[in-house]
Amino acid sequence: MTAPRWLDESEARLWRAYLVLVRDLRRAFDRQLERDAGLSGADYAVLVPLSEAADGVLRMRELGRSVDWDRSRLSHQVRRMEKRGLVAREDCAEDARGSMVRLTDAGRAAIEAAAPEHVETVRRYFIDQLSEDERAVLTDVFERLNQRLDSDGAV
Protein backbone atom coordinates (compact mmCIF):
# COMPACT_ATOMS: atom_id res chain seq x y z
CA MET A 1 0.00 0.00 0.00
CA THR A 2 1.98 2.96 -1.27
CA ALA A 3 1.01 6.60 -0.80
CA PRO A 4 -1.16 7.89 -3.61
CA ARG A 5 0.47 10.30 -6.02
CA TRP A 6 -1.88 13.25 -5.52
CA LEU A 7 -2.27 15.74 -8.30
CA ASP A 8 -0.10 18.82 -8.09
CA GLU A 9 -1.54 22.25 -8.67
CA SER A 10 -1.24 22.37 -12.44
CA GLU A 11 -2.51 18.82 -12.83
CA ALA A 12 -5.51 19.56 -10.67
CA ARG A 13 -6.14 22.70 -12.67
CA LEU A 14 -6.21 20.73 -15.90
CA TRP A 15 -8.47 18.10 -14.42
CA ARG A 16 -10.93 20.65 -13.06
CA ALA A 17 -10.96 22.53 -16.36
CA TYR A 18 -11.80 19.26 -18.10
CA LEU A 19 -14.65 18.48 -15.73
CA VAL A 20 -16.16 21.93 -16.05
CA LEU A 21 -15.79 21.90 -19.81
CA VAL A 22 -17.50 18.57 -20.21
CA ARG A 23 -20.42 19.60 -18.06
CA ASP A 24 -20.96 23.01 -19.61
CA LEU A 25 -20.42 21.90 -23.18
CA ARG A 26 -22.99 19.18 -22.77
CA ARG A 27 -25.39 21.62 -21.22
CA ALA A 28 -24.91 24.11 -24.04
CA PHE A 29 -25.60 21.49 -26.69
CA ASP A 30 -28.58 20.03 -24.94
CA ARG A 31 -30.11 23.44 -24.49
CA GLN A 32 -29.55 24.44 -28.10
CA LEU A 33 -31.12 21.24 -29.40
CA GLU A 34 -34.05 21.52 -27.05
CA ARG A 35 -34.62 25.15 -27.95
CA ASP A 36 -34.29 24.87 -31.72
CA ALA A 37 -35.92 21.52 -32.36
CA GLY A 38 -37.36 20.15 -29.15
CA LEU A 39 -34.78 17.36 -29.15
CA SER A 40 -32.46 15.99 -26.49
CA GLY A 41 -28.90 15.02 -27.20
CA ALA A 42 -29.93 11.39 -27.06
CA ASP A 43 -32.71 12.00 -29.57
CA TYR A 44 -30.22 13.63 -31.88
CA ALA A 45 -27.75 10.78 -31.57
CA VAL A 46 -30.42 8.31 -32.64
CA LEU A 47 -31.85 10.44 -35.43
CA VAL A 48 -28.50 10.97 -37.15
CA PRO A 49 -27.84 7.35 -38.21
CA LEU A 50 -31.51 6.88 -39.02
CA SER A 51 -31.55 9.88 -41.31
CA GLU A 52 -28.49 8.53 -43.12
CA ALA A 53 -29.91 5.03 -43.59
CA ALA A 54 -31.66 3.85 -46.71
CA ASP A 55 -35.38 4.65 -46.39
CA GLY A 56 -34.71 5.85 -42.87
CA VAL A 57 -35.01 2.32 -41.53
CA LEU A 58 -32.53 0.42 -39.37
CA ARG A 59 -32.60 -2.67 -37.23
CA MET A 60 -32.23 -2.02 -33.55
CA ARG A 61 -29.02 -3.99 -33.72
CA GLU A 62 -27.51 -1.76 -36.40
CA LEU A 63 -28.76 1.37 -34.73
CA GLY A 64 -27.16 0.20 -31.54
CA ARG A 65 -23.86 -0.33 -33.29
CA SER A 66 -24.03 3.16 -34.79
CA VAL A 67 -24.58 4.95 -31.52
CA ASP A 68 -22.53 2.42 -29.54
CA TRP A 69 -25.06 2.10 -26.74
CA ASP A 70 -26.12 -1.04 -24.98
CA ARG A 71 -29.40 -2.63 -25.93
CA SER A 72 -31.26 -1.51 -22.86
CA ARG A 73 -30.44 2.12 -23.25
CA LEU A 74 -31.39 2.10 -26.89
CA SER A 75 -34.64 0.30 -26.22
CA HIS A 76 -35.65 2.83 -23.59
CA GLN A 77 -34.70 5.73 -25.83
CA VAL A 78 -36.56 4.39 -28.86
CA ARG A 79 -39.63 3.77 -26.73
CA ARG A 80 -39.64 7.38 -25.59
CA MET A 81 -39.09 8.62 -29.13
CA GLU A 82 -41.84 6.41 -30.47
CA LYS A 83 -44.25 7.87 -27.95
CA ARG A 84 -43.42 11.32 -29.28
CA GLY A 85 -43.82 10.25 -32.90
CA LEU A 86 -40.21 10.69 -33.96
CA VAL A 87 -39.78 7.05 -34.94
CA ALA A 88 -41.96 3.99 -35.47
CA ARG A 89 -41.17 0.38 -34.66
CA GLU A 90 -41.86 -2.47 -37.05
CA ASP A 91 -41.25 -6.19 -37.04
CA CYS A 92 -38.18 -7.56 -38.71
CA ALA A 93 -38.83 -9.87 -41.65
CA GLU A 94 -35.50 -11.73 -41.65
CA ASP A 95 -35.23 -12.40 -37.94
CA ALA A 96 -38.22 -12.86 -35.70
CA ARG A 97 -36.24 -11.56 -32.74
CA GLY A 98 -35.40 -8.37 -34.55
CA SER A 99 -37.07 -5.01 -34.45
CA MET A 100 -36.91 -2.30 -37.08
CA VAL A 101 -36.92 1.40 -36.36
CA ARG A 102 -38.30 3.76 -38.98
CA LEU A 103 -37.78 7.49 -39.07
CA THR A 104 -41.15 9.23 -39.33
CA ASP A 105 -41.77 12.42 -41.27
CA ALA A 106 -41.86 14.28 -38.01
CA GLY A 107 -38.54 12.73 -37.02
CA ARG A 108 -36.93 13.71 -40.29
CA ALA A 109 -38.28 17.23 -39.99
CA ALA A 110 -36.89 17.47 -36.47
CA ILE A 111 -33.39 16.34 -37.36
CA GLU A 112 -33.29 18.57 -40.42
CA ALA A 113 -34.37 21.52 -38.34
CA ALA A 114 -31.83 20.76 -35.64
CA ALA A 115 -28.71 19.89 -37.63
CA PRO A 116 -27.62 23.30 -38.97
CA GLU A 117 -27.87 25.00 -35.61
CA HIS A 118 -26.20 22.05 -33.97
CA VAL A 119 -23.14 22.14 -36.17
CA GLU A 120 -22.99 25.90 -35.71
CA THR A 121 -22.93 25.35 -31.97
CA VAL A 122 -20.18 22.76 -32.27
CA ARG A 123 -18.17 25.34 -34.17
CA ARG A 124 -18.99 28.23 -31.90
CA TYR A 125 -18.00 26.55 -28.68
CA PHE A 126 -15.41 24.06 -29.83
CA ILE A 127 -13.96 23.69 -33.31
CA ASP A 128 -13.68 27.32 -34.28
CA GLN A 129 -12.02 28.20 -30.98
CA LEU A 130 -9.02 26.03 -31.77
CA SER A 131 -5.99 26.66 -33.93
CA GLU A 132 -4.96 24.08 -36.46
CA ASP A 133 -2.13 22.94 -34.21
CA GLU A 134 -4.41 22.65 -31.25
CA ARG A 135 -6.90 20.56 -33.22
CA ALA A 136 -4.09 18.22 -34.19
CA VAL A 137 -2.92 17.87 -30.60
CA LEU A 138 -6.41 17.32 -29.28
CA THR A 139 -7.24 14.72 -31.88
CA ASP A 140 -4.05 12.89 -31.12
CA VAL A 141 -4.55 13.05 -27.37
CA PHE A 142 -8.21 12.10 -27.41
CA GLU A 143 -7.66 9.11 -29.65
CA ARG A 144 -4.76 7.96 -27.53
CA LEU A 145 -6.82 8.23 -24.37
CA ASN A 146 -9.64 6.34 -26.03
CA GLN A 147 -7.25 3.60 -27.01
CA ARG A 148 -5.95 3.43 -23.48
CA LEU A 149 -9.45 3.05 -22.08
CA ASP A 150 -10.22 0.48 -24.70
CA SER A 151 -7.13 -1.68 -24.27
CA ASP A 152 -7.58 -1.52 -20.52
CA GLY A 153 -11.07 -2.91 -20.76
CA ALA A 154 -12.32 0.15 -18.91
CA VAL A 155 -15.29 0.66 -21.15
Residues near DNA (CB under 7 A): 23, 27, 31, 40-43, 59-61, 64, 69-80, 89, 92, 95-99
| From the list DNA, a copy of itself, none, partner contacted by residue 142 (C-beta under 5 to 8 A by kind) | a copy of itself
> Residue 8 — φ and ψ, nearest 5°?
-80, 180
Nearer to a copy of itself (CB atom), residue 109 or residue 138: 138
| Beta pairing class for 99-103 and 87-91 | antiparallel
DSSP letters, 98-153, are -EEEEE-HHHHHHHHHHHHHHHHHHHHHTGGGS-HHHHHHHHHHHHHHHHHHHHTT
Residue 67 burial class via C-beta count within 10 angstroms: exposed 0-12, middle 13-18, buried 19 and up: middle
Smallest separation, CB 97 to a copy of itself (Å):
27
Residue 45 burial class via C-beta count within 10 angstroms: exposed 0-12, middle 13-18, buried 19 and up: middle
Establish if 109 lies at the interface with a copy of itself (CB under 8 A): no
Nearer to DNA (CB atom), residue 10 or residue 72: 72
| From the list DNA, a copy of itself, none, partner contacted by residue 78 (C-beta under 5 to 8 A by kind) | DNA
Rounded to whole angstroms, the Cα distance separating 120 from 70 reads 29
The residue range among 4-12, 49-57, 90-98, 102-110 that interacts with a copy of itself, by the rule CB under 8 A, is 4-12
Nearer to DNA (CB atom), residue 59 or residue 102: 59
Binding site for a copy of itself (CB under 8 A): 4-7, 10-11, 13-15, 17-18, 20-22, 24-28, 31, 68, 115-116, 119-120, 122-127, 129-130, 134-135, 137-139, 141-146, 148-150, 152, 154-155
